[in-house]
Structure 1
Amino acid sequence: MNTLDIDAGNTRLKWRWQMSGQEPKYGAVINQPAEVMVEALHKFVGDSVVDVCRLSSVRSREVVDEVCQKVLGAFSVQPRLPDPASGIGGVIVNEVDPLRLGLDRWLAMLAAKGLYPSRAVMIVDAGTALTLDIVGADGVFQGGFICPGLSTMLRAMTESTDLLVMPEVPEFRRMPAFPSIQAIQNGALSMAAAFVEREFERFDGDICVILCGGDAALLAENLGIPVDYRPELVFDGLAIALPAEDL
């Protein structure tokens, strides 16, 4: 069975393509009109038959509908979106409708719990937003945080001042800096890293920290705590929420 998984994020459209019996392949494109993004996806997949397509998205309903329409036209398969519900994958959500969490956060929790079924897990998604969610050893969602991501923090600072210009290629380091723009970049990284470390300390180290998202590798390198870097966590959650054999 050939399976195409798509994650439509705030910054990029990402995908995982797995042909039967082969290792998965990954690709991404910066957000553009749906037709352009699906065209790039079609070139990646080529003429291969897509048997199953699963979709995660934090985009608007209009964008999701357009992506689904273009995917159906390109591959003759209707993308399936998961329906978040408490109990799936052993993750129990009591205090809020799972739909209100955001599909990417919920899917990442499913995947994290699948990796560590008997441990408490802290899922950190470092992308446009920096999200941190906690699931207890019993599978119960204990709440989370949503903060600006590294580039979002940097953009907010440069757009709010007249004399600072957003660097074409940001360089984040966890150390003091002399030039203002470098100090802003380093401050953003230091704030994000200290935040994750502080939440880890609240559990006296008795929790597994799992990182995903576009800035996760950078964040992982600058943390003073043990972490499990899993860049494809949302795709793994899709496979739990929508098993291919059931579609």
Structure 2
Amino acid sequence: MENAKSPSMLLIDAGNTRVKWAVPASVPEAALTSACAARWLHTGSAERAALAELAQQWAAAAESLNLSRVVISNVAGPGLRDALDALLRQSLGDALRIEWFASQPECAGLRNRYRNPAQLGCDRFAAAIGARALFPAQDLIVATCGTATTVDAVSADGRFLGGMILPGLGTMATSLALTTAQLPQIHEIGALSAPFADNTVDAIVAGCIAAQAGAIERAVATQLALSVKQAGGVAAQVRCVLAGGAGAIVAPYLTLPGAQLEKVDNLVLIGLHTVAMQTD
């Protein structure tokens, strides 16, 4: 007789532009600090406008798995929440246990110091939890470069201190085209060929990249100064954890003296996995 499949969980990061998902592998506890692809049995994504693709992806994954639990971070509003709920039940059955992750005063060893903890975007809180799981007991700056760019500070003793939100790389470029008559729409952002642009398109790209990098560098410098002060003037170390689709574009332009840069894919999903493992 064929052995029953062990229950598996599905993790979903529903953002403003894309919906990303993963099924975590059953790995030893020590391996959970790894950001490598071996963490996941299956991964996938789809544009928000093409959610039907998700049903096909989940159905393919479900053929070899017993998906019984779903943990979701959704920052794209109640409409997407309802659509995902219906799609999940249609694809995987009504018996599915669906959990909607929300920011709270404390979770997975991270204390939320937002003035109103529930107001903190659940993706930001999940990303911070994921970064802390990967790099415990360290001062962190967690920068996620997507539709919006968020840059958040986490202390070595486990406090989410707060952060900043700015338009993402693509959003910045688009806003210039929409609000300025003489500037073109930028359809693709790539590497710069010179430090100072000699044409308008590259000048827009250079300005947007500089704004992203500058915000991250400023946050790192501020966190580093706080760390030194709290250590009584002793030299400190800050780790900058960079995630998001535009992170790879921004990374080469970052100058982070006194800090170490870590590029991590699917940081929100890593955070959701960390929470799920502690609340099973």
**TM-score scaled to structure 1, two decimals?**
0.89
Count of residue correspondences: 245
Please give the root-mean-square deviation of Cα atoms over the aligned residues, in Å. Answer: 2.2
Deviations 1:76-135 (CA, angstroms, capped at 9, x unpaired): 224311243222122112342322111100001111122222211110011111101111
- 2:175 aligns to what? 156
Which of 198, 201, 208 is the matching residue for 2:218? 198
Output the CA distance in 2 between the equivalents of 1:88 and 1:229. 24
Deviation, structure 1 residue 51? 2.5
The farther-off stretch of 95-104 and 206-215 is 95-104
Which of 38, 45, 50 is the matching residue for 2:54? 38
Q: Does 2:250 match 1:219? A: yes
Q: Does 2:18 match 1:12? A: yes
Deviations 1:27-53 (CA, angstroms, capped at 9, x unpaired): 21111154x243343355253331222
SS at match of 1:167: coil
Deviation, structure 1 residue 180? 0.8
The farther-off stretch of 83-92 and 40-49 is 40-49
Output the CA distance in 1 between the equivalents of 2:128 and 2:279. 22
Output the CA distance in 2 between the equivalents of 1:164 and 1:104. 33
Output the CA distance in 1 between the equivalents of 2:209 and 2:181. 22
- Cα distance change, pair 37–155 in 1 and its aligned pair in 2 (3 A): same
Which of 224, 238, 244 is the matching residue for 2:272? 238
Q: Does 2:209 match 1:189? A: yes
Q: Any residues of structure 2 matched to 1:77-156 within 5 Å, and which?
A: 77-156=96-175
- Cα distance change, pair 201–215 in 1 and its aligned pair in 2 (3 A): same
- Cα distance change, pair 245–95 in 1 and its aligned pair in 2 (3 A): closer
Output the CA distance in 1 between the equivalents of 2:173 and 2:138. 35
Instruction: Say whether the 8 Å CA contact 1:84–1:98 is kept in structure 2.
Output: yes
Letter in 2 for 1:232: N
Instruction: Say whether the 8 Å CA contact 1:86–1:94 is kept in structure 2.
Output: yes
- 2:34 aligns to what? none
Q: Which has the larger radius of gyration?
A: 2
Unaligned runs of 5+ in 1: none
Structure whose residues are more often strand by fraction: 2
Instruction: Say whether the 8 Å CA contact 2:73–2:122 is kept in structure 1.
Output: yes
SS at match of 1:2: strand
Q: Does 2:44 match 1:27? A: yes
The farther-off stretch of 24-33 and 44-53 is 44-53
SS at match of 2:138: coil
Letter in 2 for 1:217: A
SS at match of 1:52: strand
Deviation, structure 1 residue 245? 7.2
- 1:50 aligns to what? 67
Q: Does 2:189 match 1:170? A: yes
Q: Identity percentage over the alignment?
A: 26
The farther-off stretch of 97-106 and 169-178 is 169-178
SS at match of 2:108: helix
Deviations 1:194-235 (CA, angstroms, capped at 9, x unpaired): 221122222156321111111112222221223111112101
Instruction: Say whether the 8 Å CA contact 2:45–2:54 is kept in structure 1.
Output: no
Output the CA distance in 1 between the equivalents of 2:173 and 2:59. 34
SS at match of 1:29: strand
Output the CA distance in 2 between the equivalents of 1:114 and 1:244. 12
- 2:3 aligns to what? none
Deviation, structure 1 residue 172? 4.4
**TM-score scaled to structure 2, two decimals?**
0.80
Q: Does 2:76 match 1:59? A: yes
